[in-house]
Structure 1
Amino acid sequence: MEIIARMNVGGPATQVMGLCERLNHEEFDHRLYTGHVEGGEGDHLHLRNSAVEVHRIPGLGRSVKPADDYRALSGLTRAMRGFRPHIVHTRTAKAGALGRVAACLSGVGSARIHVFHGHLLYGYFSPAKRHLYVRTERLLAHVSDRLVTVGSQVRDELLQAGIGRPEQYVVIPPGVRAGPVPDRGAARAALGLPQDAPVVAYVGRLTQVKRPDRFVAVAHAVLGRIPGCHFVMCGGGELGRQVERDAETVRDSFHLLGWRGDVETVYAAADVVLLTSDNEGTPLTLVEAGMAGTPVVSTLVGSVSEVVRDGHTGLLSGTDPDELAAHTVRLLSDPGLARRMGGAARDWTTYAFNLDRLVSDTEDLYRSLCETRGRHLLARGNGR
């Protein structure tokens, strides 16, 4: 039983879609429970080769709303008693909390897995809310069989916060299906970009933790040294209007695309992909950019260093816009270096973050839990 608050365009939903499509359905009866599917109200999630039934849980969402949360908790508990899954597999903070509490209330005896695609320790909350988040996750760890993180650094930061025990953790990096990448000329024509200008791209949500304001600050610094550079922002969020205002003075060099389903076109058109976040897990933007052969410049946060091999597949930096700008200018000014890093990034990400590896790691985790839980139930049945 896989539980996620929303199936949208984010990294967690991308991982779920890959598992829905590729898991061995003869071995695993894998069912998806969610509160919302982006772009539709139907009861099926349409994948490349099949359609997966979606089980809707009314009230399940990201925001804290006591009435909705109670409704979602009740719905999940009833669903567990009806399905009686061997494993409850939760993703995202809200679904992780409600799903694990429901697993306790249901009395079914399922093994419980929660996935941290990142964490909310930095860049999200006030100190008081962060304290509450940490206390809640510590309590939930006590009723979890496995805690999965997308990178080793994310695991280490959670352990430093006192969340869970080392033996509970399993690191399973994300898996990405590489889509067809158009050639540079076609990509730039599709986006209305000049064919011969340097292009820097941002792909992600326009929210505070992603720091799109920092991307705009980097753009100003780069334009001071490379006046003909163009900057592309692909994404949406609550800071969209603020980004428009911040970029007003350089609007001829800025292209705000909103959300696009063909992110491969953005990567193909770019000379550099820039990530400016204060906090990350293992960002799929950098994996996808690598698979497209585009070098990246990124802040050194979360498990970014497990995606970007500094000096080999891209350049890592502190959070200072001038430092990020200097790395970006270096790549834009040395096409040979950028080309070598892009090729190395393609080789590395295709090897380390492919979808088949994600599916294999997840199936191995499910099997190990079923074997462990089976031995435990057998011991209880024998009075031991």
Structure 2
Amino acid sequence: MMTPDGRIRVMEIIARMNVGGPATQVMGLYKGLNSDEFDHRLYTGYVDGAEGDHFQLRGATPQVHRIPGLGRSVRPTHDSRALLQLISAMREFRPHIVHTRTAKAGALGRTAARLAGVGSARVHVFHGHVLEGYFSPSKRRLYIWAERRLASMTDRLVTVGAKVRDDLIAAGIGRPEQYVVIPPGVRLGRIPDREEARTALDLPLDAPVVAFVGRLARVKRPDRFLATASAVLRRLPTCRFVVCGGGELKEELERGIADMWGSFRLLGWRHDVETVYAAADVVLMTSDSEGTPLTLIEAGMAGTPVVSTRVGSIPEIVRHGSTGLLAGLDADELAEHTLRLLSDPAFARRMGESARHWTSDSFGVERLVADTEALYRSVSAAPGPQLTPGSTT
């Protein structure tokens, strides 16, 4: 199943390239896949105004095939047009593999692959722990119903962590033998030293600094972050909190820090996220639900210990007591862990070094590319449009 020039054609579809884990993984593959073996093309919609655009932030200018209507919002008329455009693109490109990411792109892409009749293998990636924290009970039931049916027309279901896989299987989405676990892969840019980083961000050189990096969205619980910060400031008034990111809850966050404004720096989205990690003593994550968040991997690679809620596949990234500290959903417990690291710099440095070694060895982009290339080879080698799934890895 190769092209006349010997390459496997891969059509990768993602709803939008907003700043976050999925876009980072897509670009890692775009840059890293062996172009002598794979003809890899990216199809995507447009980023909503409230979100950061990965291409703009990173200054990336890859060749992208735009599909209007493929973005975040669900609109039947636009979605129908996007479906027809995907079918047309598939019939023109005739991919051996259709690789979809995110819920909307997964639904439209896999449906288009079936309707196009081009015999493509179908691979879908679940990036987050989507069964928790994202939907109301009624929407969750609808999502599970839809994903069960989509799984029946999918050859491989990829998750970013074992916990995510196990919960999807427990919900009746797909069969165990369809699943492959491929953790994220990350490459950071140059990491500045602490003084350089703090000077660049206009932070005191001698103050304790805690960073929050990510979307300001409900599932990330910026309100819990503020409650944790307030608890820390009551006992450590010199602490500074840095927020790197944006989103629909930005104004709500600004109102929440009105009485603590001097203790906060709101940076918005930044292309040099390495600077934020280097400036911080602790990276704090307060989410209700996560898959395997890149923020915690990147913090580890920068040698910065983390404090996080124990949700999704986070325990597969953060080794509690060794590379970071995990807590329940209680702000006071998160604050206690944060204060423990801030009050014992030697302990925090040891933990940061352990995190650097662990994340660099386990979550490099080279490993992501190698795992994905192996997946592509396995599905492209099997006969027929509905391939027999391989074994779980």
Alpha-carbon distance in 1 for matches of 2:45, 2:386 = 33
Q: What is aligned with 1:143?
A: 153
Q: What is aligned with 1:127?
A: 137
Alpha-carbon distance in 2 for matches of 1:313, 1:376 = 42
For the 8 Å contact 2:121–2:386, the answer to whether it is kept is: no
Q: What is aligned with 2:45?
A: 35
Q: Measured at CA, do residues 64 and 38 of structure 1 come closer, stay the same or move farther in structure 2, by a change above 3 Å?
A: closer
Q: What is aligned with 1:356?
A: 366
Question: Is the partner of 2:261 in helix, strand or coil?
Answer: helix
For the 8 Å contact 2:153–2:386, the answer to whether it is kept is: no
Alpha-carbon distance in 2 for matches of 1:171, 1:316 = 23
Q: What is aligned with 2:280?
A: 270
Q: Which one-letter code corresponds to 2:12 in the other structure?
A: E
1:196 has 2:206 as partner: yes
For the 8 Å contact 1:314–1:345, the answer to whether it is kept is: yes
Question: Is the partner of 1:31 in helix, strand or coil?
Answer: strand
1:323 has 2:333 as partner: yes
Cα deviation digits, residues 156-202 of structure 1 (max 9, x gap) = 11111111110000000000012110110011111111000000000
Q: 1:219 aligns with which of 207, 218, 229?
A: 229
Alpha-carbon distance in 1 for matches of 2:87, 2:158 = 23
The answer for unaligned runs of 5 or more in structure 1 is: 40-44, 378-384
Alpha-carbon distance in 1 for matches of 2:311, 2:89 = 38
Q: What is aligned with 2:172?
A: 162
Cα deviation digits, residues 294-332 of structure 1 (max 9, x gap) = 000000011001110110000000010000000000000
Q: 1:285 aligns with which of 277, 284, 295?
A: 295
1:92 has 2:102 as partner: yes
**1:225, CA displacement in angstroms?**
1.2
Question: Is the partner of 2:72 in helix, strand or coil?
Answer: coil
1:332-351 matches, cutoff 5 A: 332-351=342-361
Q: Measured at CA, do residues 240 and 283 of structure 1 come closer, stay the same or move farther in structure 2, by a change above 3 Å?
A: same
Q: Which one-letter code corresponds to 1:94 in the other structure?
A: K
Question: Is the partner of 1:109 in helix, strand or coil?
Answer: coil
Q: Measured at CA, do residues 195 and 223 of structure 1 come closer, stay the same or move farther in structure 2, by a change above 3 Å?
A: same
Q: Measured at CA, do residues 351 and 38 of structure 1 come closer, stay the same or move farther in structure 2, by a change above 3 Å?
A: farther
Alpha-carbon distance in 2 for matches of 1:373, 1:16 = 26
1:52-131 matches, cutoff 5 A: 52-131=62-141
> Over aligned residue pairs, what C-alpha RMSD do you find?
1.8
Q: What is aligned with 2:312?
A: 302
Q: What is aligned with 1:381?
A: none
Q: Which 10-residue stretch deviates more, 29-38 or 317-326?
A: 29-38
For the 8 Å contact 1:120–1:130, the answer to whether it is kept is: no
Cα deviation digits, residues 68-106 of structure 1 (max 9, x gap) = 100100000000011111000000110000000000100
TM-score normalised over the length of structure 2:
0.92
Question: Is the partner of 1:361 in helix, strand or coil?
Answer: helix
For the 8 Å contact 2:155–2:386, the answer to whether it is kept is: no
Q: What is aligned with 1:380?
A: none
For the 8 Å contact 1:7–1:38, the answer to whether it is kept is: no
For the 8 Å contact 1:275–1:298, the answer to whether it is kept is: yes
Q: What is aligned with 1:15?
A: 25
For the 8 Å contact 1:286–1:296, the answer to whether it is kept is: yes
Alpha-carbon distance in 1 for matches of 2:385, 2:88 = 27
For the 8 Å contact 2:243–2:266, the answer to whether it is kept is: yes
TM-score normalised over the length of structure 1:
0.94
Question: Is the partner of 1:175 in helix, strand or coil?
Answer: coil
For the 8 Å contact 1:219–1:231, the answer to whether it is kept is: yes
Q: Measured at CA, do residues 135 and 375 of structure 1 come closer, stay the same or move farther in structure 2, by a change above 3 Å?
A: closer
Q: Measured at CA, do residues 48 and 273 of structure 1 come closer, stay the same or move farther in structure 2, by a change above 3 Å?
A: closer
Question: Is the partner of 1:30 in helix, strand or coil?
Answer: strand
Alpha-carbon distance in 1 for matches of 2:384, 2:60 = 32
Higher relative contact order (CA 8 A, sep 6+): 2
**1:46, CA displacement in angstroms?**
9.4
Q: Measured at CA, do residues 278 and 187 of structure 1 come closer, stay the same or move farther in structure 2, by a change above 3 Å?
A: same
Q: 1:236 aligns with which of 246, 249, 264?
A: 246
Q: What is aligned with 2:5?
A: none
Q: Percent identity?
A: 71
Question: Is the partner of 1:52 in helix, strand or coil?
Answer: coil
Q: Which one-letter code corresponds to 2:90 in the other structure?
A: M
Q: Which one-letter code corresponds to 1:242 in the other structure?
A: E
**1:119, CA displacement in angstroms?**
3.5
Alpha-carbon distance in 2 for matches of 1:124, 1:354 = 28
**1:204, CA displacement in angstroms?**
0.3
Alpha-carbon distance in 2 for matches of 1:329, 1:366 = 46
Q: Measured at CA, do residues 315 and 113 of structure 1 come closer, stay the same or move farther in structure 2, by a change above 3 Å?
A: same
Question: Is the partner of 2:174 in helix, strand or coil?
Answer: coil
Alpha-carbon distance in 2 for matches of 1:33, 1:375 = 21
